[in-house]
Amino acid sequence: GKEGVLIKGSNYLEALSQTKTVVFDKTGTLTQGVFEVSAVHHSPMAQEKLLEYAALAECASSHPISKSLQKAAGGALDRSRVTDIQEHSGRGVTAVVDGVAVAAGNGKLMEELGVAWHECHSVGTIVHIRDSHIAVNGEYAGHIVISDVEKPHSRDAIAALKAAGVTKTVMLTGDIQKVADYVARDLGVDEVRAELLPADKVERVEELLKAEPEGAKLAFVGDGINDAPVLSRADIGIAMGAMGSDAAIEAADVVLMDDDPMKIAKAIKISRKCIRIVHENIVFSLGVKLLCLL
């Protein structure tokens, strides 16, 4: 209703009231999922050229990181300059731009291609670029730092969950460990699992479910299409934002109508209040019957 929380049945209401562990998918849930290019560290190639090549290589992808590269490169790109685009799941893309082989992705992709890449000391998602024009440093052209912005209420939301009796908060992300640890520390999350592919998230949730004490429930909060299998697997799947994907909303047991993570603690409090009222009603009605009987 007015709280913007949709619970799909009374059994989910009860399970929600018993939630002791809340697992978050980071992007779009605790962070805004809006990525911005925050730095470009380039080798011999000019910064504009590096951004342009990275954006062109990523031009076929609708991923938020790809979109941020396209925006930083100045928007409209001539896609006819790009051929042979290949996506490497969880690692990046390779393509031919202006007849030159280009790769844009994380350290794993660079290692697969045998490129000597440099570690970046900035906190963010790092997109490394390889360009076969350059013979310096094993064709390494530099890297681009992309930052995801935390939602303003995320830290308060984690504190509110603790206050509502949740004993453990866990964050899952495909991001590198350094970024994940930084965000988790900043928000006050208890545990973090990083560098995960979408399939790994189900495994991590399975592990956490096995570790749950008797009678305690685990809730998973996500917003994307990749989250649908995890939403189904958790005791309670919470889809955040009616703007989230249809698949996530379909797979979820609880749907939060906006993107405010504070709503999670609110939903748990509402469920506990409802269950308490149900128990009070049962006790009251049994008491009345007992009095009549006497």
226-234, long-range: CB within 8 Å, 24+ apart, which pairs? 226/198, 226/201, 227/25, 227/201, 227/251, 229/198, 229/201, 229/202, 230/25, 230/201, 230/202, 230/205, 233/202, 233/205, 233/206, 233/209, 234/23, 234/205, 234/209
The CA-atom distances, in angstroms, between 267 and each of 181, 217, 223, 264 are 27, 14, 16, 5
Q: Quick one: average pLDDT of 270-274? A: 89
Q: Give residue 136's pLDDT.
A: 41
Using the structure block, give the residue that is written with the tokens 């779009």.
28
Catalytic residue numbers, as ranges: 25
pLDDT digits (tens, 9 = 90+) for 170-195: 999 988 888 889 889 999 999 999 98
* pLDDT above 70: residue 242: no
Q: Is the pLDDT of residue 244 over 80?
A: no
Res 133: pLDDT: 64
| pLDDT tens, residue by residue, 158-175 | 999 999 999 999 999 988
Mean pLDDT value of segment 255-267: 88
Q: What is the pLDDT of residue 143?
A: 92
Q: What is the pLDDT of residue 123?
A: 79
